[in-house]
Amino acid sequence: MQVAEIFYSVQGEGGLAGMPSAFVRLAGCNLRCRYCDTPYARRAADGRSMSVDHVVQQLVAYPSRHVVITGGEPLLSDELDELCSKLRSASRHITLETAATVEHLVSADLISISPKLSNSTPTDSDSSPDYDNHRLNLPVLQAYLQQAQRDSSDYQLKFVLAQPKDIEEVRDILNQLCPTVPSERVFLMPQAVNRRQLARRSAWLVELCKQHGYRFCSRLQISLYGNQPGR
């Protein structure tokens, strides 16, 4: 598999924020988000080729049972199922981070889904039309929700907001999903690449969370480290 990086940090987002975790970031993504903070993981060719066994060996060497598989887009990896299976055999808790635009259902302890809003559309006019056709795949989102309900597994939806009006797009997406997503599983995060942006946008986003009953996600990794690879 193509790996952009393996590192040890604390989970910065979602229900497990603050949890010491081993991370593997797989290289390769089918999207080109305007605010992407990991451009070095966009192309699979830019990653390092590693066997699944080698990846697992590095991850289990860290002093935490929590492992986060992120990207890029992990669902693009043909070896993702094998990786999850071997991590599960090693008694690891697996969080899978995905935009859920690819039809590749994988079992994990926590499926962390980040549907992309229109605020992520690239400004490059050549790539924008294609991007908007792929950034949101409601059937795949619903398939993951149905799988989670069937398997009684954990899941969460994380939305990145750049301005207050983005909340209407969030609500529109949620209204189209079936089964209905409980509000406590919905996290709203400020779009930010530095601490100043994070603080400024957090102020109004907290109020939106209070108004609509969603959970606020502060993006701990930016508060602690800024926007640094491997942190």
Q: Do the beta carbons of residue 112 and residue 156 sit within 8 Å?
A: yes
Residue range 80-123, pLDDT digits in tens: 999 999 999 999 999 999 999 998 999 899 999 999 999 999 88
Pairing of strands 48-49, 2-10: antiparallel
Using the predicted structure, report yes or no on whether residue 125 has a pLDDT greater than 80. Answer: no
Using the predicted structure, report yes or no on whether residue 134 has a pLDDT greater than 60. Answer: yes
Name the pLDDT band for 133 (thresholds 50, 70, 90).
confident
Using the predicted structure, report yes or no on whether residue 227 has a pLDDT greater than 90. Answer: no
Using the predicted structure, report yes or no on whether residue 128 has a pLDDT greater than 70. Answer: no
Q: Do the beta carbons of residue 27 and residue 228 sit within 8 Å?
A: no
H helix intervals, the chain: 52-60, 80-89, 128-132, 138-151, 166-176, 195-212, 220-225
Using the predicted structure, report yes or no on whether residue 163 has a pLDDT greater than 80. Answer: yes
Q: Do the beta carbons of residue 149 and residue 179 sit within 8 Å?
A: yes
**Two tokens, residue 216:** 């606020």
Nearest 5°: the CA angle 226, 230, 231 is 45
User: Quick one: pLDDT at residue 129?
Assistant: 63
Using the predicted structure, report yes or no on whether residue 131 has a pLDDT greater than 90. Answer: no
Using the predicted structure, report yes or no on whether residue 231 has a pLDDT greater than 80. Answer: no
Specify the CATH architecture of the domain 2-225. Alpha-Beta Barrel (3.20)
Residues with Cβ within 8 Å of residue 5, at least 6 apart in sequence: 23, 24, 25, 41, 229, 230
Name the pLDDT band for 143 (thresholds 50, 70, 90).
very high
pTM for this prediction:
0.94
Pairing of strands 2-10, 20-26: antiparallel
User: Quick one: pLDDT at residue 127?
Assistant: 60
Residues 196-215, mean pLDDT to the nearest whole number: 95
**Two tokens, residue 41:** 């993981």
**Two tokens, residue 95:** 């969080």
Q: Taking all residues of the chain, what is their mean pLDDT, rounded to a whole number?
A: 93
Q: Do the beta carbons of residue 94 and residue 109 sit within 8 Å?
A: yes
Q: Which of 134-138, 148-152, 159-163 is most confident?
A: 159-163
Residue range 13-41, pLDDT digits in tens: 999 999 999 999 999 999 999 888 899 99
**Two tokens, residue 164:** 């207050």
